[in-house]
Each structure stands twice: as structure tokens, then as C-alpha cells.
Structure 1
Amino acid sequence: MTTLQTERLVLRPWRESDAEALYKYAKNPHIGLPAGWPPHTSVEESLDIIRNVFNGPEDYAIALAGDPDTAIGAIALKLAGSSTLFPEDDTTQAELGFWIGEPFWGHGYVPEAAHELLRHAFDDLGLATVWCAYYEGNTKSARVQEKLGFEPVSITPEVPVPLLHDVRTGHENRMTRAQWEQLNAK
């Protein structure tokens, strides 16, 4: 799997040795609950997440460039068959998802990481469209998507949130290759 780098960050494959760092940040209810997943309850649960959830071909741990061995967040492209935002057999689209530990909020790390993953999606993987969504009230995710240039597409009431046994209002946004190229024209 690829490792991606920005000026301040390294996006790299998850390792089993990341379980303690993952638990440190993912146990915080301010992280998972707005995104639709319960806080982690143990290092063992975080290890299971690394093995069985963060194991896709485009799942990355976010780390600071000065400390690439310590995961501080997660970012991923969900490809065909792993997103409900586009047809499951469509290999030209992906869904972007992300979060970062609370001590790292407000430093612009998520937009920086997401910008690099969008570059990778359009330039390296040749995708035509990248989707991104958030639940009503997740203002941090909404702001990141706005900063990146995602275009609002729909608002869906009563979206199931299975991991929390809940329903919420979902906001679905997208970026096409043409939009990406226009936003990044030199």
C-alpha cells in the first residue's frame, strides 16, 4: 500500500502497533459519536478495528511528519462495494472519510490530509467522483468539506446509523474530477 506525504503529515497504512494510539483518541466521545460510531472501550477493540475495519486498500493512519510512527487520526477512501453513496459496482467513485484526535483539532491537519488523499484519488487512482458525507450537527466535518470545495448534493432525513442504533439527517456532498482540476489550476 502507498504511503502519502504532505508538508506536515504522513498518511500510511495502519499497523497493529497503532492500537494504543488509536484507543487513546478513539475512546473520546467527541470523536466517534458525531461521525456515527461508538467510542472505543479498550486497546483490544482498537486492535480489532485495525485488523477488520481499517484494512481496506485506501485506509490510512494520519501521523505527523516529525513522528510518523504515532497515529493521530484516520482517513480513507471507501471504494466500490464499501459505500452507500454510489452504486456498489462503480469503480470510478469513492467516499472520503476522516477523523483526527481532539488534541490536533484546529491546526488544519484534516484539510491537509484530505487534500492529499483527493489528489491521490483523482491523479493516481483516476477516479471521476469522490463523495463525502456528514450527519446533521457535525459542524467540524461540514467545515472541512466546505474548505475542500465539496459541492452539496442532497440532505437525507432518517439515515440509519447502525453502530449507534440511531437515525440522523445526512448531508451528502461530492467533488468531480473537473471540480478538482478547476480548484487546483495553477
Structure 2
Amino acid sequence: MSPPRTEIRTDRLVLRPTFATDAERAFEIQSDWEVTRMLRMASFPADRQATLDWFADHEREWSAGEAYRFAVEVAGRMVGLVDVDEIKDGEGDLGYWLDRAAWGRGYAFEAANAVVRFAFGEIGLSMLKSGHAADNPASGRVLAKLGFVPVDIVERFSRPRGETIRQCRYVLASACR
């Protein structure tokens, strides 16, 4: 059974389950090339209808235990998203992206740390995986600070870039937290 759709509060952030109405703000954030080029599966330019369709499915995903997606809010404004998806056999993938104006303030670590605790404590996962583009060392620093351990570097297709990139992959076991 999935945990209830409830918000998580940190010192500076409110993480709340996403709603379909968050799609427009997400579209705005992902219309910035500097944000979207770091994502593996997003399209660029951002596709409004695909974003609307994706957000419309978030509540169903939560209820089905397939994915838990949180809007990251600062002072009542959505500045990004952090989620755990691709959940299977006690494992899931941690992902996050933020508006460029929110970069460099520690929000990614703060939000991801709260969702890691949620994943292990509320969902009961035993392992999280994550990764980042090799040319995004800031994301690697967030994962290292969270306690993720590097596993390997692989070639993966980046949809927004339209080319193969090097992706650094990591894992974090619940026993390590």
C-alpha cells in the first residue's frame, strides 16, 4: 500500500506531491536549455502537451506505488521537482531538477535528502539508484553528500541533446543511511 500523499517540510523547503496544475510551471522551468540539457528523458524545446500529460499521471503513479513525485517549493513558489520512480523489487531511482535561479543554494541536497528518507522510511525501499551527466559535476556533489557511491560510467542517449552522453551512475543502500 502506498503512503498517503502528504507534504514534507525541511528547514527552507516544502515538498508536496505534484498536481496536474504544476505542469505549466514545470514547462516554464524546462524551457531553459541549461536545465533540460542535464535531463536524460525530457524533450527540448519543452513539449507543453507531453508535460501536461506526464503531470496528469502523477497521482495515479503515486497510488499504484510506481513513482512518488514532489514539487519543491520555496516561499510558496515551485522551483523544481524531486522524485523516486522506476520502483521495482525494493529499489527505485532518485531524480531531481531545479529552476536555474534556484541553483547553488543547497536546495537540491535539502530536497533530495528529505526524499531519500521518505524512500527508505515511508516506502521501505532498500536501494536507490541515481545518475548525472558527466558534464554536471554539481549533481555528482549532491549525490556524494547524500552518501551515494559511484558505480560506473556508461554511455546513454540524452533525448534533449539528441546524442549519446557519458552518465555517472550511483547507488545508495538503506543500510548505509
What's the TM-score bracket when you normalise by the shorter of the two chains?
0.7 to 0.9
Q: Is the 8 A contact 1:135 1:171 kept in 2?
A: yes
Unaligned runs of 5+ in 2: 63-67
Equivalent in the alignment of 1:114 = 112
Residues 44-93 of structure 1, C-alpha deviations (whole Å, 9 max, x = no match):
453233224786320111112x31xx32101110143xxxxxxxx42x11
Aligned match of 1:11 in 12, 15, 18?
Answer: 15
CA RMSD of aligned residues (A): 2.1
Q: TM-score of the superposition, structure 2-length normalised?
A: 0.84
> In the alignment, is residue 56 of structure 1 matched against residue 61 of structure 2?
yes
> In the alignment, is residue 167 of structure 1 matched against residue 164 of structure 2?
yes
Check 1:162–1:43 CA distance in 2 against 1; reply closer, same or farther (3 A cut).
closer
Q: TM-score of the superposition, structure 1-length normalised?
A: 0.80
Between the two proteins, the alignment pairs up a number of residues equal to 167
State the one-letter code of the partner of 2:106. Answer: G
In percent, how many aligned pairs have the same letter?
26
Q: Is the 8 A contact 2:7 2:15 kept in 1?
A: yes
Tell me which of the two structures has the higher relative contact order, counting C-alpha pairs closer than 8 angstroms and 6 or more residues apart.
2
Matches of 1:55 and 1:106 in 2, distance apart? 33
Equivalent in the alignment of 1:85 = none
1:2 CA drift (Å): 2.6
Matches of 2:171 and 2:59 in 1, distance apart? 22
1:140 CA drift (Å): 2.0
Unaligned runs of 5+ in 1: 81-88, 181-186
